[in-house]
Amino acid sequence: LTGISREQRAFQYLLAHAIPGDPHHVLQTFDQWCYHCEHLSCVGPAKGRIVERLLLERAPLRVLELGTYCGYGTVLLAQGLLPGARLYTVEGDPQHAAVAEKVIRLAGFDEQTVELIVGPSEEVIPQLREKHGLTKADLVFMDHWKRCYLRDLQLLESHQLLAEGATILADNVLFPGAPHFLQYAKTCGKYHCKVHRASLEY
């Protein structure tokens, strides 16, 4: 009715309540909005702990996120990066990307740390090396359209964008589900698979 999207409303709440330059507080404020005001399909704090643990264990220098949405996952990933590490995040929806850009900068991350790329993942992935300077990703976080997971993983493979021993973290593979991706990951012989049990966001 207001003509303002749910994502923009969430950002207005962040502007009013979050501490600029404090990524942890930005995420907490996001969580407050999603618990008490309107649901957004962000990673959320429960699954966020899995992401944080993997970042600590793997200490990746080059991270690729597919599906920026509002920037929640981006801020979560960026706050766990080592000094000098870089995050590339890809969002196909320009309106979501516009919100995410503001959220990422509000949290205190500049373009040297987080590069937001707007465009369909199937078009962006083949350009990552030439256009954006991503030679190999140490960690890939997939949180975009589930039907694109398998296609995009195979695109990353065919363009040799995965570092040796790279970690692929994919959200919501059981529900709403990405069965073809899951079957491929388990049976192709290239990956060791682990399913992390979690509830839906918020």
The domain spans of the chain are: 6-188
The rounded mean pLDDT for the chain is 96
Residue 1 has pLDDT above 70, yes or no: no
Q: Please state which CATH number belongs to domain 6-188.
A: 3.40.50.150
Among the listed residues 31, 47, 152, 172, the single catalytic one is 172
| pLDDT value of position 122 | 98
pLDDT-based confidence at 169, cuts 50/70/90? very high
Out of 31, 138, 152, 201, which one is annotated catalytic? 201
Give yes or no for residue 55 having a pLDDT over 70: yes
The model carries a pTM of: 0.96
Return the HEC string of the chain: CCCCCHHHHHHHHHHHHCCCCCHHHHHHHHHHHHHHCCCCCCCHHHHHHHHHHHHHHHCCCEEEEECCCCCHHHHHHHHCCCCCCEEEEEECCHHHHHHHHHHHHHCCCCCCCEEEEECCHHHHHHHHHHHHCCCCEEEEEECCCHHHHHHHHHHHHHCCCEEEEEEEEECCHHHHHCHHHHHHHHHCCCCCCCCCCCCCCC
Decide if 138 is catalytic: no
